[in-house]
A and B are shown apart, each in its own frame.
Chain A
């Protein structure tokens, strides 16, 4: 089983739509969770951290369910500029002091 699993997509949505991505992780000891955004042929960039109580940053809302080992990202009022790959990221993995990245979910927002 992969340490971090995501639906690869692509998710094709019209501008203004609401879209949600999900991610599951296997290491129950993981303590830190993030969503990163990666544009084509670019480096990943931190989008937001994910906190136990859930958190929001503008049009983006992240949720964490520790019992189900599940993380979600909700994007409201999608913009063309939101088109990218969204990486689910958790810490841990066989005791390493490093982050483990999911393979990403691709989002394409269409006019």
Chain B
């Protein structure tokens, strides 16, 4: 049982480039989330999804897009990368509701230069 898998683990982007951060889970969780964590800071919610075909903005959605075509996958797209998007990105999933907390992926460390 792999849990939540994120790829790539590390990436360096040039300003203006685009990329997709992949996230897949094998726990049949309905809810999936993308957070970013800047050094010494807490996690900030970018986007979340409560099921296939349903997505919603979080606290810091600007510069990002998501899609949820299947229960398993929740990719995060960065368009026109900017230095301010240098961060660690965590994907997480959970069953409906909050009783059990989240299961996180191991993160993607992104540097935009």
A103–B42 CB distance below 8 A: yes
Interface members, chain A 85-100 (any B CB < 8 Å): 87, 89, 91, 93, 96-100
Interface of B is mostly: loop
Q: Per-residue CB proximity of B69-113 to A under 8 Å, as 1/0?
A: 000000000000000000000100000011111111111000000
B41–A103 CB distance below 8 A: yes
Q: Chain A contacts of B33 at CB under 8 A? A: 98-99
Residues of A in contact, count (CB < 8 Å): 25
B101–A101 CB distance below 8 A: no
| Number of chain B interface residues as a range | 20 to 34
Indicate whether B15 reaches chain A with its CB closer than 8 angstroms: no
Indicate whether A44 reaches chain B with its CB closer than 8 angstroms: yes
Bound CA span A87–B42, Å: 8
Q: Which of A42, A87, A96, A99 contacts B106 (CB 8 A)?
A: A42
What are 15 of the A-B contact pairs (CB < 8 Å)?
Answer: A8-B40, A32-B97, A32-B98, A36-B101, A44-B90, A45-B104, A49-B99, A49-B101, A89-B101, A91-B98, A96-B45, A98-B45, A100-B45, A101-B42, A103-B41
